[in-house]
Amino acid sequence: MEADMSLFALVTRASVLVQIVMLILLSASVLSWLIIVLKYKSLKQAKLEAIRFEDRFWSGINLSDLYQQVKRKAEMRRGLARIFEMGFAEFIRTRKNITNTEMMLAGVQRSMKVAVAREEDYLDSHLSLLATIGSISPYIGLFGTVWGIMRSFIALGSVEHASLAMVAPGIAEALIATAMGLFAAIPAVIAYNRYAEQVDRLSGSYENFAEEFATILQRQSHLPGDDDNEG
């Protein structure tokens, strides 16, 4: 009788260790796709929020009015809105208590630097997990393949008359582990590279905005009592 070479049969006939490897790779693949979808949505939202906020900021709106709007809307407190909020709040606080302009601006810059770092951490979240899945999945699959092939040849050594038909099912089931490893790794690597590039661009825009905003606040620091100037 010919051996059943269907995918289901090969998986169910595989050794327990190879099945565990397949289960790990399947879980890694599901997890990576979940991260890919969620990260796509979050980065797209972050980009749109940055564009909208920059449009409002450079529209000539009164900075104090914009600050009050940001404080009232919790959903705006991400990305550039959060950096602006922390920077302007520090500017208002230190301007009332510190007469030295350089010290005041240094405090504002530190505050925005912390905000930028937190936003970058938010953008980077879970990317390392994608990189890990992309880098180790092929090796996990290769381990399952090596184990399965080794098991097939050990079994082949115990028979007097060997044939390709005797080892083909074992080798086929072992190679499924390699295929599953690649299936888990390739999308993860592609998504990681793509998202890392987007994160770098957003991080650059955050840092540029912080520098530009610090320059605006520096100009305003020379106008006593006039913290309501437009951006």
78 found inside a domain: yes
> What pLDDT sits at residue 158?
64
Domain that holds residue 102: 13-220
Q: Tell me whether residue 229 is in a domain.
A: no
140 in a structural domain: yes
pTM, whole model, 2 decimals? 0.80
Contacts of 74 (CB under 8 A, 6+ apart): none
| Between 182 and 98, residue with greater pLDDT | 182
Spatial distance between the Cα atoms of 122 and 44, rounded to a whole number of angstroms:
13
The residue count of the chain comes to 231
Secondary structure percentages of the chain, helix, strand, coil, to 5: 85, 0, 15
Q: Give every CB contact of residue 150 below 8 A, 6+ residues apart in sequence.
A: none
Contact between 63 and 88 under an 8 Å Cβ cutoff? The reply is yes
pLDDT tens per residue across span 117-127: 999 999 999 99
Q: Does residue 136 sit within a domain?
A: yes
Tell me, yes or no, whether 213 lies in a domain: yes
Classify residue 89: in a domain, yes or no. yes
The number of folded domains in the chain is 1
pLDDT band at 19 (very low <50, low <70, confident <90, very high): confident
Share of the chain above pLDDT 70, in %: 81
Query: Does residue 5 lie within any of the structural domains?
Result: no
Dist. CA 188–CA 75, nearest whole Å: 29
CA dist., res. 163 & res. 205, Å (int): 64
* Domain annotation covers residue 2: no
